[in-house]
């Protein structure tokens, strides 16, 4: 990758904060604290969270643990585009997040909304600095037919404000945090982002970013953080794909991958993590987890030896594109 003026988080592995926002099920506070402590002890130094996660509870939990660590020794990212409003009627429920904090989540991609969002996040985190701010979900999956209008507001509001905050030294970098490739490509045309957090769009099961976004990022020296390397758990043996029950064709594709992995004695989770990290634009891969043991497991999986024959068979079988970089 060319030398870049853009800020990037450390890798190859970081920590994704959605599960600690009580995604799908409640995580006790002590388990959340132990999980984040395990990540630190395992050498992870990049942590990503968001106001939406829980809503608010993930940021509280990250701040509770990380504010006791040396601030210059880790990189912290959160997101903008949603503001939390006190609303006891919500009962801590928001999307897939259960038993969170009593807030309503309102979209706001304006410049004023971004500054308010960052101030609120600093309060929840109990910290004086956020390193990276991602504009969250300004894409079709979140906004449907209105997404281009929403994206335009994000570019004229949030992107401008974040660029100024970067120039002022309030943040070190900004980008988009999305589940779609298209807004990232468009953001490169309209603004000067540093890094994208792209979930589920570069994995063993799904690579739409490979030929569309990644070459443009290489040209601009922009980095990518890969979220959802297990595609919401399906690759790791779960039942969900993109936050919902996996369709039969995706289950069949996972099973085919698993069959080839078994033949080569490869843990499919290790292959998933290492495949994502192998592309030169990828700065970090951030699997999320809800327990300390899985943190250490993920770190070990990222280092597990994988035979070249495994990658070769995936390409020969048409499971992976021939042009996709694989670990050396």
Which tens digits make up the pLDDT trace of 31-55? 999 999 999 999 999 999 999 999 9
Segment 124-130 shows an average pLDDT of: 97
Say if CB 100 and CB 57 are below 8 A apart: yes
- The confidence score (pLDDT) of residue 164 equals 97
| Phi-psi label, residue 243: left if phi above 0, alpha if psi -120 to 50, beta otherwise | left
pLDDT band at 294 (very low <50, low <70, confident <90, very high): very high
Query: Residue 34: CB partners within 8 Å, gap ≥ 6?
Result: 291, 292
CATH number of 15-317: 3.20.20.100
What is the spatial distance between Cα 88 and Cα 166, in angstroms, rounded to a whole number?
A: 35
Which burial class, exposed, middle or buried, applies to 212 when counting CB atoms under 10 A from its CB (0-12, 13-18, 19+)?
middle
pLDDT band at 4 (very low <50, low <70, confident <90, very high): low
pLDDT over threshold 50, residue 1: no
What is the spatial distance between Cα 297 and Cα 242, in angstroms, rounded to a whole number?
A: 22
What is the spatial distance between Cα 311 and Cα 308, in angstroms, rounded to a whole number?
A: 5
Segment 9-19 shows an average pLDDT of: 97
pLDDT band at 2 (very low <50, low <70, confident <90, very high): very low
Taking only the tens place, the pLDDT of each residue in 257-284 is 999 999 999 999 999 999 999 999 999 9
Peptide bond into 185 cis (omega under 30): no
Its pTM stands at 0.96
Segment 161-187 shows an average pLDDT of: 97
pLDDT over threshold 90, residue 73: yes
Say if CB 217 and CB 188 are below 8 A apart: yes
pLDDT band at 5 (very low <50, low <70, confident <90, very high): confident
DSSP state letter for 86: E
CA nearest to 238, candidates 301, 279, 285, 287: 287
pLDDT band at 133 (very low <50, low <70, confident <90, very high): very high
Say if CB 97 and CB 55 are below 8 A apart: yes
Query: What are the domain boundaries of the chain?
Result: 15-317
* Mean of all residue pLDDT scores within the chain: 95
Query: Which are the catalytic amino acids?
Result: 48, 53, 79
């Amino acid at each position: 990758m060319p030398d870049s003026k853009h800020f990037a988080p450390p890798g190859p592995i970081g920590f994704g904060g959605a599960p600690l926002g009580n995604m799908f099920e409640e995580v006790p506070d002590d388990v959340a604290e132990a999980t984040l402590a395990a990540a630190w002890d395992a050498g992870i130094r990049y942590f990503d969270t968001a106001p939406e996660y829980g809503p608010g509870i993930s940021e509280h939990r990250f701040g509770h643990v990380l504010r006791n660590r040396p601030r210059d020794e880790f990189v912290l990212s959160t997101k903008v585009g949603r503001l939390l409003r006190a609303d006891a009627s919500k009962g801590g429920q928001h999307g897939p997040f259960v038993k969170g904090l009593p807030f309503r989540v309102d979209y706001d991609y304006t410049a004023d909304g971004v500054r308010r969002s960052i101030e609120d996040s600093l309060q929840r985190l109990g910290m004086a600095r956020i390193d990276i701010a991602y504009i969250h979900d300004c894409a079709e999956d979140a906004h449907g037919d209105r997404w281009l209008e929403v994206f335009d507001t994000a570019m004229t509001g949030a992107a401008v404000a974040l660029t100024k905050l970067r120039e002022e030294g309030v943040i070190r970098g900004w980008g988009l945090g999305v589940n779609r490739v298209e807004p990232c490509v468009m953001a490169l045309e309209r603004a000067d982002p540093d890094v994208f957090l792209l979930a589920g769009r570069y994995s063993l099961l799904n690579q739409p970013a490979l030929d569309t976004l990644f070459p443009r990022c290489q040209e601009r020296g922009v980095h990518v953080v890969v979220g959802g390397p297990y595609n919401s758990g399906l690759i790791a043996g779960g039942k969900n794909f993109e936050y919902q029950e996996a369709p039969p064709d995706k289950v069949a594709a996972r099973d085919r991958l698993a069959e080839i992995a078994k033949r080569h004695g490869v843990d499919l989770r290790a292959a998933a993590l290492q495949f994502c990290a192998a592309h030169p634009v990828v700065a970090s891969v951030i699997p999320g987890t809800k327990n300390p043991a899985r943190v250490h497991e993920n770190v070990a999986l990222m280092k597990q030896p994988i035979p070249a024959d495994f990658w070769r068979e995936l390409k020969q079988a048409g499971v992976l594109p021939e042009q996709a970089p694989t670990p050396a």
